[in-house]
Structures are given as C-alpha cells and as structure tokens.
Amino acid sequence: MILHTLLDYDVLRVIWWLLLGVLLIGFAVTDGFDLGVGALLPFVARTDLERRVVINTIGPVWEGNQVWLVLGGGAIFAAWPHIYAMSFSGFYLAMFAALFALILRPVGFKYRSKRESATWRSAWDWALFVGGFVPALIFGVAIGNVLQGVPFRFTDDMRMIYEGTFFGLLNPYAVLCGLVSVTMLVMHGGAWLTLKTEGTVAERARRFASLAALGTLVLYALAGWLLWAFVAGYQLSSPHLANGPSNPLLKTVTAGVAGAWFSNYQQHPWTLLAPALGFAGTLAALLGLRARWEGLTVVFSGLGIAGIILSVGASMFPFIVPSSIDLRSALMVWDASSSHKTLFIMLVCAVIFVPLILAYTSWVYRVMWGKVRTRDITHGDHAY
C-alpha cells in the first residue's frame, strides 16, 4: 500500500507509456527478424534444402518471440482501453490482414515439408513470404497514420466512432512509413541469417541486408524530413491534468501546427538520442554486414530498430493517437489510461513476469545457439 501511495497516477501513466514502448521494441527486435527472414525466404534460398535451412533458423524461436506481440496487445487492452478500442475498431481490416498473414507462418512451418511436391513447397514458401512482408508493412503503415492523425471521435457517452476507410490508410506518407518498417525488418532478418547460416545463403542474406540497411537510412531520413516539412502536427492547447480522469473529451487540441512533432526535441534536447540511435544503429549494422561482424551486426540492427521506434514516441509525447476529425478526442498519456488501481496491479504483474519471460527467452537462445547447417536438416529428426 505504501508503494501504491508513492506511485501517483501521473507517474504510473508515464511508466505504462514507457512499458508500452518496451513491449513494442521487444516485439520488433525479436519477432522482427522472424518477419524479415520470412520476407527474404524466396530470395536468399534457391533450393529446397537451402530454404529448409532458412526456415529452421527461426523455427525453434518464433513462437517465443511472438509472446511480445501478445503482451503488447494485452497491455494496450488493460492499460490503455481507449487506444485498444480505437485501434482494433478503426484499423480492423488492416489488423485482420496482419493477423491472417501471421497465421500463415505456423501453418507454413507445419505443412511445407509434408509433401515432396515442388509446387506444394513453393506455394508455402510464398505463404511464409506473405507472413513476413505483410505484417511488417501494415505495422509501419499504422504508425504513419497515427503520426498524421486518425479519423475517429468519441461521443459524449464515450462510444468510439471511426469514420475512415481501409484504403484511406494507404496514403503516401503512411506507405512510406510502411516501407521503412519493411526495410528495417529485412535488414534485421538478413543480419540474423548471416549469424545463423553459412555459405551461399549467408552471402545472399548479407547482400540483401546491406541494401535494406541502406534503404532504411534513406527512407527514415526522408520520412523525418517530410514529417517536419509537410505533416502538420498537434498541440495541447488547454492545461493538462496529469492526474485527471481518463476522459479525452475534457481538453482542447490545436491541429495543423507546423513542426509540432519536433517541439519535444527543441524543449528537451536529450530526446534527440532516439533518432540518433536509429541512424547510428542502422549505419553500424550496415558497416557490420560488410565487415562480417555477425553477432554484433544483429545487436546493431536491433539498436537501430529501437531508436526508430523510440523516435516516434519521443516526437508525439504526450499524444498517443491524435484524432484528425475531432481534436478533443485525441488520446494522450494523461487521459487514455485505465484507473490508478488497475495500472498499479498491472505494474506489479509486469515486474514479476517480464523478467521471467526474459530469463526463459535467454535460456532458449542459449540452447539453440549456433549455425543451422545442411547436415542438421538431412540428418535431423525434428527439422522443418
């Protein structure tokens, strides 16, 4: 009870905003290389044996990595119910497409090698490609729409109404953000393959990952410049109530503010560490690929991904999801959370279970450490 008293409502809200970022980064860094490997599968592996090698680099770990996605969804549902309502209603078709693509992955792993038919196996290989490419693209497109504002509103009785369309999400800036997401995860997946494979497959992966790293640097810089020059942001125009009720309709917001998403960098220069990490980590990954620093390259690409995601949060704080049609409906750190008690109970659970998940994940990676070789496939009883 003493700790509950010390952790004020505003402090808990910021903690859960940070934890949400940690969960998103955890998903992008771990399951991100799974998505990248899936997107690279038809290109880095030409023969059936090579493709089985590639699949088995992620086969033992992808399920554990996807736990971060489940944790992220659960955290949004429990800690940020208004955001959950908006995201899974407004982005329903996009989310369905992403989940359908993710479902293809375990089905592809299980069924691909059930038949010797080359046509059968090729079809599942392309299904695994879809399972990697489509979610990576959709998650980036979603971020691009959030930065521009999403067409939703709340009624006076707090019923959420979304007034956009699926194809409206595919605007040029959002698609650009989707491409940033694809290139950075392909870079990460290629870095993983250089660590886990050898020979021709590793060399092809190194080439594709290098191109993806270069593409990430260019597209991320372009997205940042367009965000500053052409995408008008939002500003809170009424005093914020950090300990106020979770009702987004009690504030006023100003839209069309040029450079609003860069004001935090001007007011708090230390936040520039986020985009700096995005550029530095990606550049280091590119150099690591060329220098053949296999393990370090995976770390560098992970740091680049973390920096890119952190830069979005640093730019938008305290906004989480602004509304483009009803400014007061914008969801912020201060008015979109669950109750004080709920956030506290969830924090206790997170303190207990997140370290357990990290410990188990570390143990799994330690057990599965090492390269996947062709003899592991031809003489193994448990290979996909």
The pLDDT-based confidence of 271 (bands split at 50, 70, 90) is very high
Could you tell me if residue 304 is inside a domain? yes
Two tokens, residue 103: 């479902």
Q: Answer whether 118's CB lies under 8 Å from 48's CB.
A: yes
Two tokens, residue 360: 């188990």
Could you tell me if residue 24 is inside a domain? yes
Could you tell me if residue 383 is inside a domain? no
pTM for the model: 0.92
Cis amide linkage into residue 245, ω under 30° from 0? no
Highest mean pLDDT among 108-112, 209-213, 294-298: 209-213
* Average pLDDT value for the chain: 90
Tell me if residue 254 falls in helix, strand or coil. Answer: strand
Report d(CA 250, CA 32) in Å as an integer.
38
The residue among 98, 124, 192 whose CA lies nearest residue 384 is 124
Could you tell me if residue 384 is inside a domain? no
Report d(CA 78, CA 188) in Å as an integer.
30
Each residue's pLDDT tens digit, 54-65: 998 998 888 888
Domain count of the fold of the chain? 1
Report d(CA 100, CA 365) in Å as an integer.
27
% helix / strand / coil in the chain, to the nearest 5?
75, 5, 20
Q: Which domain holds residue 114?
A: 2-378
Would you say residue 3 has pLDDT above 60?
A: no
Would you say residue 2 has pLDDT above 70?
A: no
Tell me if residue 252 falls in helix, strand or coil. Answer: coil
The reported pLDDT for the residue numbered 124 is 93
Could you tell me if residue 138 is inside a domain? yes
- The angle subtended at Cα 15 by Cα 10 and Cα 21, nearest 5°, is 130
Report d(CA 186, CA 140) in Å as an integer.
13
Could you tell me if residue 189 is inside a domain? yes
